[in-house]
């Protein structure tokens, strides 16, 4: 993994461009606002230098979960996460669901995350997360301790 200018890890992520192309980018930050999650992604593109030569330059933009897709087996736990303090406080933890597609030698699977661990636009309450976890080929993310937050009696609040 590479380090960004803030010294944090910038894991790779897939970004869906307006014309439908999918490109590899870097996830620099994520933030939760009143209208949902947003992800700051950096895409490496070409720009003209002062001497007229083409040089690589990173373009950063904030995108919605519909335009950013996590990569399997990539940890996003070190990505800086911001929450708007004006948002109402949640009484129950919230989780997200990630569907991993079938790959040769690996059947499709489902991962349950604590909200903010992986970009997703599908949030779940406690009952929905437990129901999803009980489905075949479903597991809790080890990076964000989703399993710990879903154990009986553990009623912690979402980050």
pLDDT in tens, 27-49: 999 988 777 788 999 999 999 98
- pLDDT tens per residue, range 54-109: 999 999 999 988 899 999 889 888 888 887 655 554 445 588 888 888 778 778 88
* Residue count (the chain): 159
- What is the structure's pLDDT at 135? 87
Domains in the chain: boundaries: 2-83, 95-149
**Neighbouring C-beta atoms of residue 44, cutoff 10 Å:** 12
Q: Work out the pLDDT band at 1, boundaries 50, 70, 90.
A: very low
Residue 52 carries which DSSP code? S
CB-based contact 44:57 (threshold 8 Å):
yes
Distances (CA, A) of 6 to 9, 27, 125, 152: 9, 13, 33, 38
- pLDDT tens per residue, range 100-136: 887 787 788 888 888 878 777 678 888 888 888 888 8
Q: Work out the pLDDT band at 8, boundaries 50, 70, 90.
A: low
Enter the pTM of the model.
0.52
Largest Cα span, the chain: 64
Residue 157 has pLDDT above 50, yes or no: no
Mean pLDDT value of segment 142-148 = 78
Residue 149 carries which DSSP code? H
CB-based contact 61:40 (threshold 8 Å):
yes
């Amino acid at each position: 993994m590479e380090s960004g200018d803030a010294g944090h890890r910038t894991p790779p992520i897939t970004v869906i461009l307006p014309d439908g192309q999918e490109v590899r980018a870097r996830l620099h930050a994520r933030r939760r606002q009143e209208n949902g999650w947003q992800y700051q992604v950096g895409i490496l593109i070409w720009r003209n230098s002062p001497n007229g030569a083409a040089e690589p330059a990173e373009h950063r933009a904030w995108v919605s979960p519909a335009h950013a897709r996590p990569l399997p087996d990539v940890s996003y736990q070190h990505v800086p996460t911001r929450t708007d303090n004006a948002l109402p406080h949640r009484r129950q933890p919230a989780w997200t669901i990630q569907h991993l597609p079938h790959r040769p030698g690996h059947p499709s699977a489902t991962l349950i995350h604590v909200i903010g661990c992986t970009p997703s636009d599908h949030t779940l309450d406690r009952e929905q997360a437990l129901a999803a976890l009980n489905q075949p080929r479903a597991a809790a993310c080890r990076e964000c301790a989703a399993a710990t937050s879903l154990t009986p009696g553990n009623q912690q609040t979402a980050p």
